Amino acid sequence: MLLLPLLLKATLLHLASGFYHPFHNGFYYNHIMNDNGDEQDRVDYFSGSRLVVEASKDPVYSYNGANVTLPCHYRYEPNLGPKRKIRIKWSKLRDDYTKEQDVMVAIGKTYVAFGDFKGRAHFRQAGEASWHEASLVISDVRLKDDGKYRCEVIDGLEDESDVVDLRLQGIVFPYQPPRGQYRLNFHEAEQVCQDQGAILANFNQLFQAWSEGLDWCNAGWLADGTVQYPIRLPRKPCGGVHLAPGIRSYGPRHRHLHRFDAFCFSSALKGEVFYLDRLAGMTLEEAKQSCQDAGAEIARVGQLYSAWKFAGLDRCSAGWLADGSVRYPIVTPRANCGPAEPGVRSFGFPRKGRFGVFCYRER
């Protein structure tokens, strides 16, 4: 009968000895439970001070190829004086705020970046007088960097976080492959956007495009696996005349079996799109060679849309693009240049014909 009390006593002594290592949020806090009996740390953690983390409340806007800072700071209330050795962790989140991937973790002055963020992410050094710095700097921003980021500060048993929304300035465009409407499953839609210098758009990007005037009756895949389409002018073939303008949704679809078009998203360019032509025009193969001779490559659809949107490219002459389509961008509508609205006009995918070409060259 004495065995159970003796075991209980031994367990309690073991826990009190400092050899029991607590884990919290995946981090091991040896600096408060195993620091050679440093009582001051223990007093601070239970002295009533509160860790406060604050990130940017407004979205942070950037564009492809730029450098961007995601602001995040922390402090103690009341102030504990000199900066303590804490852990800072940045994660990229899905739209439902669950973690998508680790971005960076720092302990003191040592930090490690993960995955696609290696070599592109670091911490900003300077901070405001009353706050400690935890801001994340991302260089050479990429299209898929768009999204929500969690700034998490961990000090012993305290763990506080806030979320920053990084939004890329860009353009959404609908895309159909050469073989026609509703031919792409989700994975094929991802690939065709990538082939055109873009990525599948997310809902926020499609909503922004709709608010700026995008009206498109064909349903297309979005990055979350849903199928939706933006309607500004309700009409019978597009959900009916009695529905209000907005984003129509088919909801999540089977990513392998169901087939639709794609909504792609492209941002500003690092280089330039320019037009070349010959008196007699060019075939697609001749067009590709002409771009190479000019130290460039034939432009992709996403690059043409970006040049139209951000560089004001306006050309009434049709030209080949890398996917075999023939298009031209109009900023200022005028006679003999298509409809009365600005936009990128398309001649589809002609099997024959001779046209100019749009080329893309890195700066």
**Are 242 and 302 within one domain?**
no
**Are 132 and 188 within one domain?**
no
Tokens of 80: 């504990």
Distance between CA atoms of residues 231 and 211, nearest Å: 10
- Asked if the structure places residue 176 within a domain, the reply is yes
CATH number assigned to the domain comprising residue 245:
3.10.100.10
Structural domain count, the chain: 3
CA 249 to chain centre: 22
**Are 121 and 189 within one domain?**
no
- Asked if the structure places residue 43 within a domain, the reply is no
For residue 275, what are the domain limits? Answer: 270-362
| Final residue belonging to a domain, choices 168, 196, 222 | 168
From residue 172, alpha-carbon distances to 211, 257, 351 in Å are 12, 24, 27
**Are 162 and 65 within one domain?**
yes
| Final residue belonging to a domain, choices 168, 195, 228 | 168
pLDDT tens, residue order, the chain (363 aa): 444 444 434 443 443 444 333 333 333 333 333 344 444 444 444 456 788 999 999 999 999 999 999 999 998 887 766 566 789 999 999 888 899 999 999 987 788 999 999 999 998 865 555 678 899 999 999 999 999 999 999 988 788 999 999 999 999 999 999 999 999 999 999 999 999 999 999 999 999 999 999 999 999 999 999 999 999 999 998 988 889 999 999 999 999 999 999 999 999 898 999 999 999 999 999 999 999 999 999 999 999 999 999 999 999 999 999 999 999 999 999 999 999 999 999 999 998 899 999 999 998
**Are 321 and 276 within one domain?**
yes
**Are 140 and 158 within one domain?**
yes
**Are 190 and 144 within one domain?**
no
DSSP β-ladder status, 136-138 and 170-175: unpaired
CATH number assigned to the domain comprising residue 93:
2.60.40.10
- Asked if the structure places residue 5 within a domain, the reply is no
Distance between CA atoms of residues 250 and 203, nearest Å: 13
**Are 196 and 251 within one domain?**
yes
CB-based contacts of 106-110 (< 8 A; 24+ apart in sequence): none
- Asked if the structure places residue 40 within a domain, the reply is no
- Asked if the structure places residue 7 within a domain, the reply is no
Beta-bridge partners for 133: 73
- Asked if the structure places residue 13 within a domain, the reply is no
**Are 54 and 145 within one domain?**
yes
Distance between CA atoms of residues 117 and 103, nearest Å: 6
**Are 209 and 290 within one domain?**
no
pTM across the whole model: 0.80
- Asked if the structure places residue 146 within a domain, the reply is yes
- Asked if the structure places residue 31 within a domain, the reply is no
**Are 276 and 357 within one domain?**
yes
At 240, the amino acid letter reads: G
What is the pLDDT at residue 82? Answer: 56
Distance between CA atoms of residues 279 and 289, nearest Å: 16
From residue 329, alpha-carbon distances to 11, 198, 318, 354, 358 in Å are 75, 17, 8, 18, 10
**Are 74 and 151 within one domain?**
yes
Angle at 293 between CA 307 and CA 329, to 5 degrees: 20
Q: Spell out the residues 6+ positions from residue 58 whose beta carbon is closer than 8 angstroms to its own.
A: none
| Final residue belonging to a domain, choices 223, 247, 266 | 266
